[in-house]
Structure 1
Amino acid sequence: MSRTVYVNGDYLPEAEAKVSIFDRGFLMADGVYEVTSVLDGKLIDFGGHAKRLARSLAELEMTCPVSEAELLAMHRELVARNGIEQGMIYLQVTRGNPGDRSFLFPDPSLPGTVVAFTQNVPNLADAPAAKVGFKVISIPDLRWSRVDIKTVQLLYPSMGKVAAKKAGVDDSWFVDEAGSVTEGTSNNAYIVKGNRIITRALGSDILHGITRAAVLRFAAEAQFEVEERAFTIAEAQAADEAFSTAASIFVMPVVEIDGAAVGTGKPGPVAVRLREIYLDEMRKAAI
């Protein structure tokens, strides 16, 4: 069955969806995006994603032609039309089509392009990978320096995913010039030492994860210590546990880094518990 997608106010069969070849999202990666998870047919942390979308747009001096209320209604309509019980909604806003290619930003009054589509993932909450954990490799972080803006320029993260697949593992963790882990290709990274959860502090060098914020809040409420600082691959390999978080994986245990087992080499109790707490609390708050 063909998906129904959203393009600039219209709901269309995916085969009929079209965007101009002059759209700056296509030509310049001049756009931002968000991915909101769906559980039990409801949206997970939509408010957080809407707030980050607004921040990304503001950092790029862009405006969204659709209000937050309209975005919420559109997300719900896509869930309903596509019968999504578990999955994700991808939303993208670009600077639009100025009529020709130019490096200069077009007139700010130019309406942007807004597109969205669903991805059906029936086992999102009960992903088999969560029971065995991710294996990751480390690669240099060669992205631009404003990865806190959730732009659509994802070529290097894509290369990181491909590098991981070629190495026979699940993901790559980026390492900066100082030798510290920044984050994963599409997720935030953490290690666990005793009762302490360690993750890099917010800055322009990591994405300000919506799942990250919720998980750290729940961790503090569950009496875990949270330490926001940089850590190295060697420190991660010597940790009791490691894990990643993102809207698409929630809390994912990491059991191996660059061929070295982390802890017992199996999902640890902290990551497993945080995943349980996150899913339970997010289901309660879903809209």
Structure 2
Amino acid sequence: MSRVVYVNGSYVPENEGKVSIFDRGFLFADGIYEVTAVINGKLVDYEPHAERLERSLNEISMAWPCSKAELRQMHEELIKRNKLDEGIIYIQVTRGSADRDFKFPKEAKSTLIGFTQVQKLLENPNAPAGVKVVTIPDIRWARRDIKSVMLLAPVLGKQRAYEEGAFEGWMVEDGKVTEGTSSNAYIVKDGKVITRPLSNSILAGCTRRSLFRMAKEEGVVIEERLFTPEEAYAADEAFLTSASNFVLPIVEIDGKRVGGGQPGPVVRKLREIYLDEARRQAGLK
């Protein structure tokens, strides 16, 4: 059965999901996106994603494409129509379709699209053994806190990581790790989690936000500061977070084994407490 997608108020088969060639998301990357996890047919951490969408839209002076209630209803309808048990929902908002002009169009109406992807989240096949990352230069613009569809730099970084046999690329700027191409980056030293503080340099991850709350409740110390690739090589553990991977152990960075080359106790604990919360939200416990 063909996937059902959402395009500007209509639910249609994926091969009928089309937008104009004049859409500003296509011509200028003038748009915002969000990805929300689904488990047992239920949205996980939806509210932080909706809040971040609103912030990103405000930062680029883009109007909401619908009401907040309608946006959630769209997510739930996509789950229902596609019988999605576990996976993700991707949504994208652009400034709409208009003749190509760098200035904001005065009459254009926002474009809103959404679709589902089936994906294993609870039993992520990469979680038991962990993954490899490589460091790459951070060549992005200065407003990474905005979840823009302008993703060429992350695409190039992810492709380089793939070609080097790695799962993810950790971007480096001024000798310090910023974040992954599609994830937040962390190391663990002496039981303490170390990660870059929020700023315009990184995206405020929704999984990061929820994990911080749960980690503090469990007595896990989190230190928000910059760290170097060399510190990462010498770390006891390392991991990444994202909506599509939750908490994922990292066992090798730039060909150097981290923590003996296997997931460590802190990362395993953090993954489990996040999975417990995700199961709770999904009505599985």
TM-score bin (small chain): over 0.9
| Structure 1 residue aligned with 2:104 | 105
1:283 Cα deviation from its structure 2 partner: 2.4
Moved >6 Å (runs of 4+): none
Pairing 1:147–2:116 present = no
The aligned counterpart of 1:170 is 167
User: For residue 82 of structure 1, what is the aligned residue in structure 2?
Assistant: 82
Distance 1:198 1:221 in 2: 17
The alignment-based identity, stated in percent, is 57
Whole-angstrom distance in 2 between the partners of 1:74 and 1:103? 30
Are the counterparts in 2 of residues 137 and 173 from structure 1 also a CA contact under 8 Å? yes
Q: Deviations over 1:164-216 (max 9, x none)?
A: 11111111100002x00000000000001122110000000000000010111
List aligned pairs for 1:8-47, cutoff 5 A.
8-47=8-47
Q: CA deviation at 1:286?
A: 4.3
Whether 1:51 aligns to 2:51 is yes
Secondary structure of the residue aligned to 2:214 is: helix
Q: TM-score, normalised by structure 1?
A: 0.97
Equivalent position SS for 1:275: helix
Equivalent residues in 2 for 1:151-230 (5 A)? 151-177=148-174, 179-230=175-226
Q: Does 1:264 align with 2:264?
A: no
Alpha carbons 2:187, 2:236 under 8 Å: kept: yes
Distance 2:58 2:157 in 1: 28
AA aligned opposite 1:160: G
- For residues 269 and 5 of structure 2, what CA distance do their matches in structure 1 show? 36
- Report the secondary structure of 1:244's partner residue: strand
- 2: CA distance between counterparts of 1:218 and 1:265? 26
Aligned to 2:18, what secondary structure does the other structure show?
A: coil
Partner Cα separation in structure 2 for residue 231 and residue 281 of structure 1 = 29
Partner of 1:214, secondary structure, is helix
- Cα-to-partner distance string for 1:115-160 (whole Å, 9 max, x where unaligned): 0000011x22101100111101001100001010000011110111
User: Matched residues in 2 for 1:235 and 1:124: separation?
Assistant: 29
Give, in whole Å, the separation in 2 of the partners of 1:278 and 1:118. Answer: 22
SS at match of 2:263: coil
- Provide the rounded CA distance (Å) in 2 between the counterparts of 1:188 and 1:31: 21
- Give secondary structure in 2 for the equivalent of 1:114: strand
Give the number of aligned pairs.
283
Uncovered stretches (5+) of structure 1, i.e. residues with no partner: none
- In the alignment, the residues of structure 2 paired with residue 130 and residue 252 of structure 1 have an alpha-carbon distance, to the nearest angstrom, of 6
Whether the 8 Å contact between 2:42 and 2:281 is mirrored in structure 1 is: no
1:249 aligns with 2:245: yes
1:81-135, CA deviations, whole angstroms, 9 ceiling, x for partnerless residues? Answer: 101110000000000012x10011111x5310000000011x2210110011110
Within 1, Cα distance between the matches of 2:121 and 2:32?
24
8 Å CA contact 1:45, 1:286 repeated in 2: no
State the shift of 1:72 in Å: 0.7
Q: Which amino acid aligns with 2:244?
A: S
Q: What's the counterpart of residue 120 of structure 1?
A: 118
Code of the residue aligned with 2:81 in structure 1: it is: R
Distance in 2, Cα, partners of 1:194 & 1:40: 36
For 1:193, the aligned partner's letter is K
Aligned to 1:217, the other structure's residue is in SS state helix
How many angstroms apart in 2 are the aligned matches of 1:241 and 1:149? 29
Tell me how far apart the structure 2 counterparts of residues 84 and 137 of structure 1 sit (CA, whole Å): 33
After superposition, give the CA deviation of every residue in 1:198-239 in whole Å (9 maximum; x if it has no partner).
000000000000001011111111101110000000101111
